[in-house]
Amino acid sequence: MTPYKMTTVNDILNISTYKFVDIDDPEGLRETWLARALDEGLKGTILLAHEGVNLFLAGQASAVRAFVAFMHQDARFADIEPKESWSSTQPFKRMLVKCKREIIRMNHPTIRPAGGRAPAVRAETVKRWLDQGYDDQGRPVVTLDTRNAFEVDAGAFEGAIDWRITRFGEFPAAAQAHLAELKGKTVVSYCTGGIRCEKAAIYLQELGLDSVYQLEGGILKYFEEVGGAHYQGDCFVFDERVGLAPDLSATH
């Protein structure tokens, strides 16, 4: 007699996305989006600020995609393309929509990506640069991790620069202290999903670096498009999955 074998069904769709865009009415948007998310039975966190939106949601695929379609009805968010992964369980405990001063706190109000973002480089290009060790102009390439130290410890690009910051608000001071080590190189800043490295790249440009890029979509988009090449370990995520492997499966 063949023993019964349980199978894991990954039927919970997880999405993450952000956009820097001017929002005049984050409080009004909060009420509307919270009501719609609850109607769809979703759980997760949405952060709204005058500078934009940052969200992490999970639920049945049809419900998640219905919420994304609802967002797309607003011209400010019509081009949002969330990153997707799947899990067998709901990784969030509740549905929260919060209004904040910044969707990712840097404590540097002059950095406003909605007014013009730093150049972005796609995963395929980053992989090719790391394969060869230099960019298309022959400049040496370095990756700069803009995440907190404990996130880096879970996994990072091989040889990445890590300033051991404990919160993103420390990044500007760390950048000023270590600027000399970045000069003459092509710097690819990266983070989990793109939001921190976008602000970081703009700040590094303001400090005078002339070859700075952000990794488009962060580590999660890199995993989705090219897998784990040049990356060691997992990608820490702020939900009950804790970490994601290069195939975007939960590791905890």
Check residue 114 and give its pLDDT. Answer: 64
Check residue 149 and give its pLDDT. Answer: 97
Check residue 1 and give its pLDDT. Answer: 47
Q: Which two tokens stand for residue 47?
A: 């952060």
Stretch 68-83: mean pLDDT: 96
Domains 12-99 and 113-244 share a fold: no
Of 92, 42, 81, 50, nearest to 34 by C-alpha is 42
Q: Known catalytic residue: 191?
A: yes
Angle at which helices 61-72 and 26-39 pack, to 10 degrees?
Answer: 150
Query: What pTM was estimated for this model as a whole?
Result: 0.84
Stretch 27-39: mean pLDDT: 96
Each domain of the chain, given as residue ranges in start order, spans 12-99, 113-244
Check residue 237 and give its pLDDT. Answer: 92
pLDDT over 70, % of the chain: 94
Check residue 115 and give its pLDDT. Answer: 66
In the sheet where 95-99 sits, what is the strand order? 83-87, 12-20, 52-60, 43-49, 95-99
Q: 156-180 in b/e burial notation, b at 16+ Cβ within 10 A?
A: bbeebbbbebeebeebbeebeeeee
CATH for 12-99, among 1.10.760.10, 3.40.50.300, 3.30.70.100, 3.30.450.40? 3.30.70.100
Check residue 65 and give its pLDDT. Answer: 97
What DSSP letter does each residue of 89-108 carry, written as one string? S---SSEEEEE-S-SS--S-
Q: 40-73 in b/e burial notation, b at 16+ Cβ within 10 A?
A: bebbbbbbbbbbbbbbbbbbeeebbbebbebbee
Superfamily the domain 113-244 falls into = Rhodanese-like domain (3.40.250.10)
Q: Each residue of 136-189: pLDDT tens digit?
A: 999 999 999 999 999 999 999 999 999 999 999 999 999 999 999 999 999 999
User: Strand (E) positions, the chain?
Assistant: 12-20, 43-49, 52-60, 83-87, 95-99, 120-121, 141-145, 155-157, 161-162, 186-190, 212-215, 231-233, 235-236, 243-244
Question: Residue 210 phi/psi, 5° resolution?
Answer: -105, 0
Check residue 62 and give its pLDDT. Answer: 97
Per DSSP, the three-state class of 238 is: coil
